[in-house]
């Protein structure tokens, strides 16, 4: 909350490509604790509240923390790779971490029912793929002041870490693992080409 009104504090700890490529790697972590305002913080914490319980209950607190912080770092690493020539690109927020938790919960409970626009019921796996596709679109079109690249990197981190921590999902949810992996694999193979399209 200090960063809401204190720009020098925000600038000191936010993710910024040039600073991270320099000697300030700690920004990969500290940026996840900064938000631009109450709405930004509220959206992230609401998503964490909705999906975090599934992961914590099913996987345990230690696994939850590994997925959360691993996804935060994965989101920032993917952002760093995607924007590596834009030294002044900066971002704040827990979006990568929260995206990892969202994708992890969908991977563990693919049939969970979610309400799109608080009214339309859809299965979790459809939401997961739709979420990734929208993030890819947002990344390409630079929709809003949103870190779509961090969302994607965080989702990849959550997906991979969940499978490492719960390898039995390969056998119990095989179809959903493959279905949810397809957009991630395509993104890893062709993500760099999005800028030139």
Per-residue pLDDT at 11: 84
pLDDT, tens digit, 9 for 90 and up, residues 70-96: 999 999 999 888 888 888 888 888 889
Residue 108 is predicted with a pLDDT of 86
- Comparing 129 with 106, which gets the higher pLDDT? 106
Mean pLDDT of the chain: 83
100 C-beta neighbours (distance < 10 Å), count? 34
The confidence score (pLDDT) of residue 139 equals: 64
Integer Cα distance of 63 and 58 in angstroms: 9
Q: What is the pLDDT of residues 135-165, one digit of tens each?
A: 776 666 654 455 678 888 999 999 999 999 9
pLDDT at 26: 92
Taking Cα atoms as reference points, which of 142, 164, 2, 167 lies closest to residue 74?
164
Exposed e or buried b for every residue in 62-75, given b needs 16+ CB within 10 A?
ebbebbbbbbbbbb
């Amino acid at each position: 909350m200090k960063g809401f009104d204190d720009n020098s504090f925000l600038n000191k700890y936010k993710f910024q490509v040039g600073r991270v490529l320099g000697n300030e790697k700690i920004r990969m972590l500290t940026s996840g604790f900064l938000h631009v305002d109450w709405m930004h913080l509220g959206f992230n914490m609401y998503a964490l509240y909705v999906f975090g319980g599934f992961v914590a209950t099913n996987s345990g607190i230690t696994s939850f923390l590994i997925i959360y912080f691993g996804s935060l770092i994965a989101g920032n690493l993917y952002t760093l790779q995607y924007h590596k020539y834009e030294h002044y690109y900066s971002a704040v927020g827990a979006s990568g971490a929260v995206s990892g938790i969202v994708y992890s919960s969908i991977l563990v409970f693919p049939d969970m029912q979610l309400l799109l626009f608080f009214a339309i019921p859809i299965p979790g796996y459809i939401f997961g793929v739709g979420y990734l596709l929208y993030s890819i679109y947002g990344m390409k079109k630079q929709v809003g002041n949103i870190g779509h690249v961090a969302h994607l990197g965080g989702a990849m981190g959550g997906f991979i870490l969940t499978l490492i921590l719960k390898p039995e999902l390969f056998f119990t949810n095989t179809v959903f693992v493959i279905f949810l992996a397809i957009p991630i694999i395509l993104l890893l193979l062709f993500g760099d080409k999005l800028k030139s399209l």
